[in-house]
Chains A and B, each alone.
Chain A
């Protein structure tokens, strides 16, 4: 029997809808788990905290902090194939709309101007602030990707076809 391909799904700043689309592949996903795919990392679905080296790494969402960028810069050598998974990773997507506003405006809107905020409760959270990226860019600005699969999220059937192709590629290279 052929070895299963290892798959990791890593999310950056995302809505998790791309993962849900994968869950919505339903029986097709379970069939893949039966004999073709070894899911080793996907924080929404499992507790594994890290992954070593994988055949396929699917990245969802956008880099929002310097730390995200640092993470992205070290994934290349850990994965044979990297996929920009979804419109956020491919283009910047809906979170990219933040590019239309100054960062200060984003923070003030949320933490100072909301009508439901109580008086005296309007300090912008700062205890954790690590540098936000000035601009939201597609992830291929930080890491070479092998495939881009846009869609917000990609429809489950398209996703299934896509995985089928990538898996073929993985096994082809093995021969």
Chain B
């Protein structure tokens, strides 16, 4: 069944392209809501036949918004299969790159992509975006740019270019950090921490609180959560994978290599994204979410000072396990603060400047899994290669695959608020769908890494019970 489209709605400011289709039942009420991710690219297929070492350069191109976690998940997968363990300074510098990417990416989302809704709630939807934010809050945007400049420069210091990095090799990094750089970056990172906390205290957080009141309960649903933890603390680069059940208890802790025992995927016939699930808990019950809120829900404690303080505040508001969809914004703020504090901790250690070039890796037939926390959540790379090191099979599960199922459920819940007995409040619908979807911060390029079907940016289709376009 191919659905037609009516009016393209303005759900922009997400990474990639998505349509929303809403099916009505006989009475004209919402029967089903579907997010259609409209890209397909075939990375798993075209990685095959390339030398495994090339995966490090190919996989970042899955996503220009979060290339570092793809780069690092790939190198960890190779090391896992080659039996290599990078020296401690290397692991720390990689974590530093990843932490900086989290900060850059969260800043972009907090102050521009979703930020437009928080900072310009009175402006008509179509006018919200970078130029109007800049026109209204020039100093704020200047500060955001200065902060991103620090974190992107740190990534570029090892990676040649922050997008797309070329930094890691199996067992090492192409380049180390000098003591002078370390001191300069440490100063920069401290400045970022200060600015971020101040800006959020004074402006961003009060706006979020207001939005959470205005849209209370929007898209709420109960799910499992999946995130990396390390000794019960939040973790980005290394740790065990933890499953939290909808009630907030730990359902499982497992190492990267065991992911196939816990995580499954199913195809969605209306979307190019596969939906990840936890098969042991059944299809829709096994729906899980990944991302900042999963990281906050999964960890017992943050492990850094300011993030810890914010996490207590978060828990006092939402309990042991937060399920409110809009709480994801708050969690993203915690995640940004955690990441900048981790960057500071790492840079404060003079030991990270000890660097030696890694010996070239020797390939024989092997297989490996690499898992890291991308800004949007748990990212899994899995490669198998032959005796000469050429990739024979690849599997990639991204955080937006994890959230695909949850987004559909949240959508239905949102649609019900503006559709009753065939009457559609279109303005409200488009507006709330956008607000809800951006809370997930989906990355369509990542979720559909697997072809690329392009259609309009974002459309909302409403179909009646016979599958015909509903126009009202």
Contact of A132 among B263, B382, B445, B453 (CB under 8 A): B453
- Known A-B contacts A67-B455, A128-B453, A155-B161; the reply to A16 vs B40 at CB < 8 A is no
Q: Name which residue of chain A comes closest to B273, CB basis.
A: A125
Q: Find residues 98-143 in chain B having any chain A CB closer than 8 Å to their own CB.
A: 108, 112-113, 116, 125-132, 134, 138, 141-142
Cα distance, A62 to B452, chains bound together (Å): 9
Contact of A127 among B15, B40, B270, B450 (CB under 8 A): B270
Q: Name which residue of chain A comes closest to B123, CB basis.
A: A47
Contact of A114 among B3, B149, B395 (CB under 8 A): B395
Contact of B2 among A46, A127, A155 (CB under 8 A): A127
> Which B residues touch A111, using CB under 8 A?
267, 274, 450
Q: Find residues 94-149 in chain A having any chain B CB closer than 8 Å to their own CB.
A: 94-95, 97-98, 100-101, 105-107, 109-111, 113-118, 121-130, 132
Is B365 part of the binding interface, using a Cβ–Cβ cutoff of 8 Å? no
Is B419 part of the binding interface, using a Cβ–Cβ cutoff of 8 Å? no
Minimum distance in angstroms from B11 CB to a CB of chain A: 8
Tell me whether A30 and B164 are in contact (CB under 8 A).
no
> Which A residues touch B263, using CB under 8 A?
116
Cα distance, A47 to B14, chains bound together (Å): 10
Cα distance, A13 to B453, chains bound together (Å): 8
Cα distance, A19 to B13, chains bound together (Å): 12
Q: Name which residue of chain A comes closest to B443, CB basis.
A: A16
Tell me whether A44 and B13 are in contact (CB under 8 A).
yes
> Which A residues touch B274, using CB under 8 A?
110-111, 114, 117
Cα distance, A118 to B284, chains bound together (Å): 13
Q: Name which residue of chain A comes closest to B382, CB basis.
A: A115
Tell me whether B12 and A30 are in contact (CB under 8 A).
no
**B: number of interface residues (CB 8 Å):** 82
> Which A residues touch B395, using CB under 8 A?
114-116
Bitwise, A19-62 to B at CB < 8 A (1) or not (0) is 11101101101100100001100111111110000000000001
Is B39 part of the binding interface, using a Cβ–Cβ cutoff of 8 Å? yes
Cα distance, A20 to B164, chains bound together (Å): 10
Is A84 part of the binding interface, using a Cβ–Cβ cutoff of 8 Å? no
Q: Find residues 152-170 in chain B having any chain A CB closer than 8 Å to their own CB.
A: 152, 161-164
Tell me whether A98 and B41 are in contact (CB under 8 A).
yes
- Known A-B contacts A47-B129, A101-B46, A153-B164; the reply to A15 vs B454 at CB < 8 A is no
Minimum distance in angstroms from A114 CB to a CB of chain B: 5
Cα distance, A128 to B273, chains bound together (Å): 12
Tell me whether A30 and B141 are in contact (CB under 8 A).
yes
> Which A residues touch B162, using CB under 8 A?
24
Stretch of B55-63, B194-202, B240-248, B329-337 contacting A (4+ beta carbons < 8 Å): B55-63
Contact of A121 among B130, B146, B265, B451 (CB under 8 A): B265
Is B83 part of the binding interface, using a Cβ–Cβ cutoff of 8 Å? no
Minimum distance in angstroms from B402 CB to a CB of chain A: 12
> Which B residues touch A65, using CB under 8 A?
452-455
Residue among B39, B141, B145, B454 having the largest count of chain A Cβ atoms under 10 Å = B454
Minimum distance in angstroms from A84 CB to a CB of chain B: 16
Tell me whether B126 and A48 are in contact (CB under 8 A).
yes
Minimum distance in angstroms from A75 CB to a CB of chain B: 14
Tell me whether B61 and A94 are in contact (CB under 8 A).
yes
> Which A residues touch B44, using CB under 8 A?
109-110, 114
- Known A-B contacts A15-B64, A127-B3, A128-B270; the reply to A46 vs B129 at CB < 8 A is yes
Q: Name which residue of chain A comes closest to B126, CB basis.
A: A47
Q: Find residues 393-418 in chain B having any chain A CB closer than 8 Å to their own CB.
A: 393, 395, 397
Tell me whether B397 and A17 are in contact (CB under 8 A).
no
> Which B residues touch A101, using CB under 8 A?
42, 45-46
Tell me whether A46 and B397 are in contact (CB under 8 A).
no
Cα distance, A114 to B44, chains bound together (Å): 9
> Which A residues touch B279, using CB under 8 A?
118
> Which B residues touch A129, using CB under 8 A?
453
Q: Find residues 12-43 in chain B having any chain A CB closer than 8 Å to their own CB.
A: 12-17, 36, 38-42
Is A79 part of the binding interface, using a Cβ–Cβ cutoff of 8 Å? no
Tell me whether B264 and A64 are in contact (CB under 8 A).
no
Q: Name which residue of chain B comes closest to A66, CB basis.
A: B454
Cα distance, A128 to B16, chains bound together (Å): 16
Cα distance, A7 to B134, chains bound together (Å): 16
Enumerate chain A interface residues (CB-CB to B < 8 A): 12-21, 23-24, 26-27, 29-30, 33, 38-39, 42-49, 62-65, 67-68, 93-95, 97-98, 100-101, 105-107, 109-111, 113-118, 121-130, 132, 152-153, 155
Enumerate chain B interface residues (CB-CB to A < 8 A): 1-3, 8, 10, 12-17, 36, 38-42, 44-46, 48-49, 58, 61-65, 67, 108, 112-113, 116, 125-132, 134, 138, 141-142, 145-146, 148-149, 152, 161-164, 259-260, 263-272, 274, 276-277, 279, 382, 393, 395, 397, 445, 450-455, 457
Given contacts A16-B445, A42-B129, A106-B42, 17 further A-B contacts (CB under 8 A): A17-B67, A26-B145, A30-B138, A30-B142, A46-B128, A64-B40, A64-B41, A68-B454, A115-B260, A115-B395, A116-B265, A116-B276, A116-B397, A121-B265, A123-B269, A127-B269, A132-B453
5 A-B pairs with the lowest CB-CB distances in the bound complex, closest first: A17-B64, A46-B129, A110-B450, A13-B452, A121-B266
